[in-house]
Amino acid sequence: MTFQKSIETCFKKYFVFKGRAKRSEFWWFFLFCIIASTVTALFDVVLFGYAWEQSGPMNAMFQIGVFIPSISVAARRLHDTNRSGWWQLLYLTIIGIILLIVWYASEGKKKKNKFGK
């Protein structure tokens, strides 16, 4: 999946927590969020005079806008590895973040699983 197709797919499936997402869909969207967050933060610094450490209005609006799609694509990515999307609650722990990154980076199941094809 390409960078642009990944972004389109994630926004089309804004509230879709069912199904599966390939590694490329998840990681391209993650990269988009990092790049766009940096750009909006830069705009906040340059245009509105916020400190780099502060979240200005543009960055805050962007973060709110991608919050749900980020959760939904992560849930679909976990489904591809035959895990429930509820495993994202591991973000609340330090060690859980490492485990989630490993699962996000691992190859999905080729065969049909309980979450779809």
Model confidence over 73-115: pLDDT tens digits?
999 999 999 999 999 999 999 899 999 999 999 988 788 888 8
In whole angstroms, what separates CA 105 from the centre of its chain?
A: 13
Could you tell me the pLDDT band of residue 17, with boundaries at 50, 70 and 90? very high
Residue type, 83: R
In whole angstroms, what separates CA 29 from the centre of its chain?
A: 6
Angle of helix 3-12 relative to helix 23-48, nearest 10 degrees? 90
DSSP state, 19? S
pTM: predicted TM-score of the whole model, two decimal places: 0.89
**How far is Cα 33 from Cα 63, in angstroms, rounded to an integer?**
8
